[in-house]
Chain A
Amino acid sequence: QSALTQPPSASGSPGQSVTISCTGTSSDVDDYNYVSWYQQHPGKAPKLMIYEVTKRPSGVPDRFSGSKSGNTASLTVSGLQAEDEADYYCTSYAGTNNYVFGTGTKVTVL
């Protein structure tokens, strides 16, 4: 199972929006509404930000939103804040009880 493709980096100024794409295949992203997104600050454990494509866990700001079209999922961070600077990973269920992660995107707040 190949990793999902994410852009290596993305950036925006405070208050702006940034969107990160996550491209898979017909065997994972396109086939299941089980895409989730994780934020990871340096030296820290990942944190769940979005699950099942669009759902936000309690405590995650509504500035974070998810969507999907075909084999590409997206995470949008609106109203960028300094604390949003981190690595972001998508993951998708890939059938037969397998999961595939994305390659990761480093978000920089300019």
Chain B
Amino acid sequence: QVQLVESGGGVVQPGRSLRLSCVASGFIFSNYAVHWVRQAPGKGLEWVASISYDGGNKYYADSVKGRFTISRDNSKITVYLQMNSLRAEDTALYYCARGGGWYFFDHWGQGALVTVSS
């Protein structure tokens, strides 16, 4: 079955960096786009970034543009989210999600918690 497992979360000081990973299984990874979506504690969902099946196209929410970088290694069936210059408002549970088509998210991981605090 389709599975996505995030890792790399933790507590980090403002201004520092963190890299999340999302390892996939149960499907042909190189055929699908992958997205990152986050959820601040007690809040709603917010789209963060997307990457096309081959890594050739990458898109970001305005709130993270210039600070976050999405990438993928299809040989390692993994998508990454490099987060730099972290702010308190980046504190959230970060989910990776498979793109069922380009316009929706059909399978989700369990999330990686990122806490930005001094």
Contact = CB atoms under 8 A, between A and B. Distances in A.
A51 interface: yes
Interface of A: 1, 3, 32, 34, 36, 38, 45-48, 51-52, 57, 89, 91, 93, 97-104
Interface stretch (B9-17, B74-82, B101-109): B101-109
B106 A52 contact: no
B62 A1 contact: yes
Interface string B73-117: 000000000000000000000010100110111111111000000
A51 B111 CA distance: 22
Contacts of B71: none
B45 A38 contact: yes
Would you call the interface of chain B mostly helix, strand, loop, or mixed? strand
B27 interface: no
A74 B45 CA distance: 18
Nearest to B43: A104
B95 A46 contact: yes
Interface residues of B, number: 24
Interface of B: 35, 37, 44-47, 50, 57, 59, 61-62, 95, 97, 100-101, 103-111
Given A51-B104, A52-B104, A45 B95 contact: yes
Top 4 A-B residue pairs of the complex, sorted by shortest distance between their CB atoms: A97-B59, A34-B103, A36-B104, A99-B47
A101 B47 CA distance: 7
B1 to A, nearest CB: 11
